[in-house]
Amino acid sequence: MDAPKEKKFEDPFGRTINYLRLSVTDRCNLRCKYCMPEKAQFTSRDKILTLDEIYSIATVFTQLGVDTIRLTGGEPLIRKNILWLVQSLARLEGLAELTLTTNAMNLSQFADKLKSAGLTRINISLDSLNSKRFKEITRVGELMAVKQGIDAAIQAGFHRIRLNSVILRNYNDDEVVNLTSFAINKGIDIAFIEEMPLGKIDTHQRQNTQVCSEEIREKLSYKFDLKPSLYKTSGPSNYFTIANTKTNVGFISPISNNFCSTCNRIRVTASGRLLLCLGNEHSVDLRAIIREAPQDRERLKQIIVEALKHKPDRHYFNVNKTDIVRFMNTTGG
């Protein structure tokens, strides 16, 4: 049996860290304009964590007090043997929730199997309901495949499926009502996300495409009766309910409404970098540690605990400049 978890896992500011976002790949079958360049450079496979290494790292985090793990990418469903990893992680003692973020391009093939393997919740990226515009934003995506994936997830019976929509001015800001109506019709949730200045892009100027959460909420309020909600997930969404529906609408506002005071998250990239903050570059190379001593989980635990002492108090995103050069697919979406 794995060793019992520690009583508390806290950063220097007294925030309890109980949520790990764990990337399994930096590769993706889409090329979303706000996420990565069209000709993206991916990490060589020998530098990507093996599934056994990912499992070992996750085990140590749960022993430290993490009770929620989200699998991310890139696109996690293109990682070979992802079902084995889901099944293995779902059995970890102390893990209350195992979730996944996907673009749903392959979800229709995986939804039932993921549910059976122990995945508890799923987020699906969807930025447009217009096929032509969807392909323009994603460069290569097929909207029909995503819709089929959404339906498959609903049929599989996942608890509180959520759509994630990154809203860009003059790209898809005119679709927030339609996207919300789509979520209502499906009986699922939706979260609108402010674009973050991660990675240098040449498709648009972020200061020109930025749409703040308050603007989106105001647009929705003309159509829907929004009520503040006490509903919470492990992430930073601020939720509203829509009267007479089953749908919660969330707003993730890293630019307009800094939420760092309640941060409970850390990330591990597909290459094994422990990122203490989405908007800061300080990291620790867990891959080097685990490959040097694969069986020494106590040492890995000590390194992680020491690293947490350097978690910053907040990020300082500025849409007028790009201080963080890593793209979201490298970070772990």
What CATH architecture does domain 19-331 belong to? Alpha-Beta Barrel (3.20)
Whole-angstrom Cα distance, residue 220 to residue 203? 28
Domain boundaries, the chain: 19-331
One digit per residue, pLDDT tens: the chain, 333 residues? 355 444 579 999 999 999 999 999 999 888 887 877 778 788 899 999 999 999 999 999 999 999 999 999 999 999 999 999 999 999 999 999 999 999 999 999 999 999 999 999 999 999 999 999 999 999 999 999 999 999 999 999 998 999 999 999 999 999 999 999 999 999 999 999 988 766 566 666 667 888 999 999 999 999 999 999 988 888 888 999 999 999 999 998 888 878 788 889 999 999 999 999 876 777 899 999 999 999 999 999 999 999 999 988 876 666 655 555 556 667 766
Q: How many CB atoms lie within 10 A of CB 239?
A: 18
For residue 158, give Cα distances in angstroms to 46, 106, 120, 122, 181.
34, 16, 6, 7, 20
Residue 30 has which token pair? 């889409």
User: What is the reported pTM?
Assistant: 0.92
